[in-house]
Structure 1
Amino acid sequence: MNIEVNSQNLKFLECFASDTRIKIIELLNERPMNIKDLAESLGFSSAIVTKHVQKLEEAFIITTESVPSTRGRQKICHLTLESATLQFRAKKQDDQNRYAVSIPIGQYSAYDVKPTCGLASDTKIIGMVDDPRYFSDPEHVKACHLWFGSGFIEYRIPNYLVGKQSVRSLSISLEICSEAPHYNENWPSDLTFYINDTCLGAWTCPGDFGAVKGVYTPSWWKLGTQHGLLKQITVDSEGSYIDGIRISDRTVQDLAIHYGDDIRFRISAPETAAHSGGLSMFGKQFGNYDQDIQVYVAY
C-alpha cells in the first residue's frame, strides 16, 4: 500500500504520533487481543485503549470483531495491514490522462494450474476442489477466491489508448498469498509477474494465512486460507516496483503496449521455483480487502 504524505491521509499518519498506538501495533503483531488484555498490557483503562483502537481502525491498520464471551461480548482486535510505503514526493498527474479499471479475479483469460487448486464464489465452492478442469467452468467468472499449487493465471486489461498516446505508468493492486494444503503461515512462495510476456520480476510471499479469519471472508468458508497481503505492482519509465521497492529495471517502454491490443497481465507460481509455494488470490467479499484487481493506467 502506498500512502502519500499529505493532509488527506492525516488519519493514517497520526496513528504513528502516539507511543500507545505503536505499542498496540506491536502487541497485535504477536497475536489478536481483546480490549481488556490490551489495557492490562499497557497499564491504561479500557476506555483509553478503546479510543486508540478506534483511530487505528479508522486508518485500516487494524480491524475488530465482536465475539461471544462468558460475560456477554468482547471486541477482538487484529492487525491487518502488512506494510505501507510513504510517498513524500507525489507524482502529479492530470486526471484526464489516467484511467482505472477493476477486474474480478474470476474473469481471467488464460490459465494452467495444478493442485492443490480450486475456486469459490461468495456463497459456495465452484465445482470440485483439486480438479483444474473447473477453472473452465462457466461459473469461474463469479469467483471471489482462487488458489493453485503451481502454474499461472492471466488477465486481459483493456487498452483505451487512442492515436499516438503511450503509457507513462501502469499500476496493479491485488490481494494475494501462498497456497499450502489447509494453510501454513510459514510457507514461502516465489511469485513472478508479467506484462505482455515481459517479466517484471518476482516477489516471495512469506506464507498462506489462515490463523486469523479474513475481514470479508464469508462465515461458511472453512478450508483454511483466510486472507492475503495487499500488493501494488508499478511499472514506469524508471523501472518495476512492488510496494515502492524496485524488483527489476524493466520499464513501461519494454512492455510493447500498442493501440488496439489488450494488456496481458500474468501471475506465475513456477513449479521449478526455489520456493514453489503456489498462489492464492482474493477479490471482493473475500480476504481483508474488499476489492478486485485494481488497475491504473497513466498516459
Structure 2
Amino acid sequence: MEIEVSTNHMQLLECLSSETRVRIIEMLRERPMYVKEIADELKLSSAIVTKHMQKLEQAGIVSTHMAAGTRGKQKICTLSLERLVLLFRTDAREPEVRDPSSYAVSIPIGHYTAYQVKPTCGLASPRKLIGLLDDPRYFDAPERVEAHHLWFASGYVEYRVPNYLIGDARAREIRVTLEIGSEAPGYREDWPSDIAFSMNGVQLGVWTCPGDFGSQRGRLNPPWWGSSNSQHGVLKTLLVTEEGSYIDGVRMSDITTGKLGLTAGSDIRLRIASAEDARYPGGVSLFGSRFGNYAHDIDVIVAY
C-alpha cells in the first residue's frame, strides 16, 4: 500500500503516533491474538485495548472477528496490512519514469489478449461477477475488460504490453509489478502453485506461490464479495535485465532482455501460466487496483 503524507490520511498516520498501537502491531506480526491476550501482555484493560483496536481497524491496518475462545466467543485480531510506503513527494510513486529513456503503462487485468483456462475459474468486476462461475466461455465476454479479479485452476492469460520504442532503441530492462496468488476452490492458505512467467514465448522462470489467501479480507474488495472466496494475493515484481530475470530480486533464470528481441515494432507479450503437469499445479489468481490489498493493476516500466 502506498499513501501520500497529507491531511487526507490523518486517520492512518495518527495510528502510528501511539507507542501502544505500534506495540500491538508488533505483537500481531507474530500471530493473530485475542483482545484479552493483548491486554494481558500490555498490562492494560480490555476496554483500552478495544479502543486502540478500533482506530487500527478504521485505518485498515488490522481486522477483527469473533471466534470461539476459552470463555465463549471472543474478538480475535489479525494484521490486514502487509506493507505501507509513505510518499513525501507527489512524484515519488514512479521515480524510474523521471528517466527520459523509460516509459510506464498500467494494464488492467481484464485486458488480456489471449487465454486458455480450466475451472475453477471466473472473473469479477467491482460491481458483480462476470458471467457464470467455472465457465471458461465468459473469458471471451466483452465485460471482461471491467474485471479487477480473475482466477483459473490451470492454463494461462497473456497480455500485450504497448511498445513505444523508436528507431534503433532496444529494451534494456522490463519491470512488472502485480498482485498474484494461487487458486483453490474457495480458498486455502496452504496451497502452493508453480506460476510460470513468459515473455514473447520465452519462459523467464517459475515462482512458487505459497497459497490462495482468504483468511483476512482484502482491503480493497467490494462489500458484495463473499468472505469464503479468495481475498488477496502478494505483491510481486518481475524484472528482466541485461543480466538475467528476477522476481523480488531473486534470480530465476539467465534469460536477458537481449534474448527477447525487444526492438521498435516488436511484440511484448507477457504470459502468466499454471501448468497441469507442474510439481504444484495450484492455479492463478490476479487482483487489480480495486480488489485485493494493493491499488495496482499490472504495472510495467520499460527502460531502453
Could you tell me the TM-score, scaled by structure 1's length? 0.79
Counterpart of 1:9 in structure 2 is none
Kept after mapping to 2: 8 A contact 1:217/1:287: yes
Tell me which moved more, 122-131 or 260-269: 260-269
| Cα deviation digits, residues 30-54 of structure 1 (max 9, x gap) | 22665x753533446858x959x97
| Cα deviation digits, residues 227-274 of structure 1 (max 9, x gap) | 000000001111111111111111111111121123100001001001
1:163 aligns with 2:161: no
Q: Relative to structure 1, is the Cα distance of residues 165 and 75 closer, same or farther in structure 2, using a 3 angstrom cutoff?
A: farther
* C-alpha distance in structure 2 between counterparts of 1:167 and 1:128, whole Å: 40
Q: Relative to structure 1, is the Cα distance of residues 173 and 93 closer, same or farther in structure 2, using a 3 angstrom cutoff?
A: closer
Counterpart of 2:124 in structure 1 is 120
Aligned with 1:177 (options 174, 181, 193): 181
1:24 aligns with 2:29: no
| Cα deviation digits, residues 123-152 of structure 1 (max 9, x gap) | 100000000000001100000100000000
* C-alpha distance in structure 1 between counterparts of 2:97 and 2:128, whole Å: 42
| Cα deviation digits, residues 168-188 of structure 1 (max 9, x gap) | 210000001000011110000
**Which residues of structure 1 form unaligned runs of 5+?**
2-14, 69-73, 85-90
Alignment of structure 1 residues 53-202 onto 2, 5 Å: 63-65=61-63, 77-81=78-82, 95-202=99-206
Aligned with 2:249 (options 244, 247, 266): 244
Q: Relative to structure 1, is the Cα distance of residues 296 and 38 closer, same or farther in structure 2, using a 3 angstrom cutoff?
A: farther
1:224 aligns with 2:229: yes
Aligned with 1:256 (options 254, 261, 271): 261
* C-alpha distance in structure 2 between counterparts of 1:106 and 1:257, whole Å: 24
Distance apart, 1:224 and its partner CA: 1.2
* C-alpha distance in structure 2 between counterparts of 1:92 and 1:144, whole Å: 25
* C-alpha distance in structure 2 between counterparts of 1:131 and 1:200, whole Å: 29
AA aligned opposite 2:40 = E
**Which residues of structure 2 form unaligned runs of 5+?**
2-15, 67-74, 86-94
* C-alpha distance in structure 2 between counterparts of 1:67 and 1:161, whole Å: 51
Could you tell me the TM-score, scaled by structure 2's length? 0.78
- Tell me the number of residue pairs that the alignment of Structure 1 and Structure 2 aligns: 270
Q: Relative to structure 1, is the Cα distance of residues 159 and 39 closer, same or farther in structure 2, using a 3 angstrom cutoff?
A: farther
Counterpart of 1:292 in structure 2 is 297
Counterpart of 1:204 in structure 2 is 208
* C-alpha distance in structure 2 between counterparts of 1:194 and 1:117, whole Å: 21
Runs of 4+ in 1 over 6 A off after TM superposition: none
